[in-house]
Amino acid sequence: MSERFDIDALLEIMKALRTPGTGCPWDIEQTFETIVPYTVEEAYEVADAVSRRDFVDLRDELGDLLLQVVYHARMAEQLGYFDFSDVVSSICRKMIRRHPHVFGDPPIPARDLDAQWDSIKALEKADRENEREQARINGVPVGGEEPGEQGFLGGIADALPALVIADKLTKRAAKVGFDWPDTASVLDKIEEELGEVREELGRAADSQGNDKVTREIGDLLFAVANLARHVGVSPEQALHITNVKFKSRFRYIEQALKNKGKSLAESDLDEMEALWGEAKGLEAG
């Protein structure tokens, strides 16, 4: 049986990798900024393993994602900001606070949790502001706007996928009544935005990289994200499903052409569309 390790072993491995003089030169030179792309990539690879229901891959990808947490924590520790134990303590406090129906003394009924959710979040926000102020006093960079200056839509990370951000923004705004009254209204908005895209395309001498066209397409996508929210669908997941479907159908086209002794370059649009229809028919069957 393979040797087994625990989290302490991983922390020691990362410490060794980041030790000047004896560690790995590549690991030593990394910063928060250079590691972030890997962190984001590993999160997506976890999602990919789940979507494929590959639990061998999922085990490994979760390990890669955990390494990213340990990596960031070690860099912060070396700078005197916080360590891995602080990260664990932070999430433990948050989970206990957010589940008074499990950890409360006495536990509150689960049916009452929704009513308490906003007050729980408000307490967390107040604590975060106090922590940021203390961090500033201690010389720890906090950056960006003050939490109180971010407004009602503050706290949604800009690094999230744009469709996810759109979904979160409109859900937040809807809580205070800033929303279309029904799905039909959202569909009307989509038609309006689509018309504006057509209008701008007709006006633009060159639509390639045109800023106005870009903005109008952004408005259209935002409206579609709103539609997804209104019907209880994740826009990111909906697009992911379509991406997977597109890849599958295109692979069918490629394989069908290969069986005919042809390449994609040797085919034409009519032939590929016919094969696309075949792939679509097989899915329906």
pLDDT the model gives residue 258: 95
Q: What are phi and psi of 182, to 5 degrees?
A: -160, 170
Give residue 16's pLDDT. Answer: 98
Same domain, 13 and 112: yes
Q: In this predicted model, which residue has the larger pLDDT, 122 or 189?
A: 189
Last residue of a domain, one of 88, 121, 149: 149
Return the pLDDT at 145.
54
The total of other beta-carbon atoms located within 10 Å of residue 14's CB is 20
Q: Does some domain include residue 1? A: no
What range defines the domain where residue 256 resides?
Answer: 238-284
Identity of the amino acid at 157: A
Residue 22 and residue 130 in one domain = yes
CATH code where residue 221 lies: 1.10.287.1080
- What pLDDT score does 86 carry? 96
Give me the chain's average pLDDT, please.
Answer: 90
Paired tokens of 241? 């499903």
DSSP state of 181: S
Residue 285: pLDDT band with limits 50, 70, 90: low
Q: Is residue 195 located within the same domain as residue 250?
A: no
What gap in Å lies between CA 248 and CA 276, rounded to an integer? 10
Does 137 or 64 have the greater pLDDT score?
64
> Across residues 84-92, what is the average pLDDT?
96
Report, as an integer, the average pLDDT of 238-266.
94
Residues 140, 257: one domain?
Answer: no
My answer on whether 167 and 227 are in the same domain is yes
Residues 53 and 143 reside in one and the same domain:
yes
Q: Are residues 14 and 144 in the same domain?
A: yes
CA gap 17, 222 in Å, rounded: 44
User: Is 91 inside a domain boundary?
Assistant: yes
Residue 155 in domain: no
pLDDT (average), residues 237-245: 90
Whole-angstrom Cα distance, residue 100 to residue 112?
10
Distance (Å) of CA 186 to CA 163, 164, 189, 211, 230 = 16, 18, 5, 25, 8
Express as a percent the part of the chain with pLDDT over 70.
96
List, in order, residues 6 or more apart from 263 with CB less than 8 Å away.
Answer: 257
Domain check: are 167 and 247 in the same one? no
Name the band, by pLDDT with cuts 50, 70 and 90, for residue 102.
confident
**Same domain, yes or no: 177 and 144:** no
Query: What does the DSSP assignment read for 215-270?
Result: HHHHHHHHHHHHHHHHTT--HHHHHHHHHHHHHHHHHHHHHHHHHTT--STTS-HH
Residues 93 and 123 in one domain: yes
The verdict on residue 16 lying in a domain is yes
Instruction: Please tell me the predicted confidence (pLDDT) of residue 254.
Output: 96
Residue 112 pLDDT exceeds 80:
no
Residue 144 and residue 27 share a domain: yes
Cα–Cα distance measured from residue 165 to residue 173, given in angstroms and rounded to the nearest whole number? 12
Mean pLDDT for 212-235 is 95
Evaluate whether residue 219 is within a structural domain: yes
- Asked if residue 194 lies in contact with residue 188, where contact means CB atoms within 8 angstroms, the answer is no
- pLDDT grade, residue 150 (50/70/90)? low
CB 39 within 8 A of CB 68: yes
Same domain, 26 and 56: yes
**Number of domains making up the chain:** 3
Domain boundary among 127, 149, 171: 149
The pLDDT assigned to 284 comes to 76
User: In this structure, is residue 48 part of a structural domain?
Assistant: yes
Residue 154 in any domain: the answer is: no
**120, 149, 178 — which closes off a domain?**
149
pLDDT at 111: 75
Residues 1-47: pLDDT tens digits? 578 999 999 999 999 999 999 999 999 999 999 999 899 889 989 98
In a domain, 17, yes or no: yes
**Mean pLDDT, rounded, for 210-218:** 92
- Token pair for residue 175? 């809580």
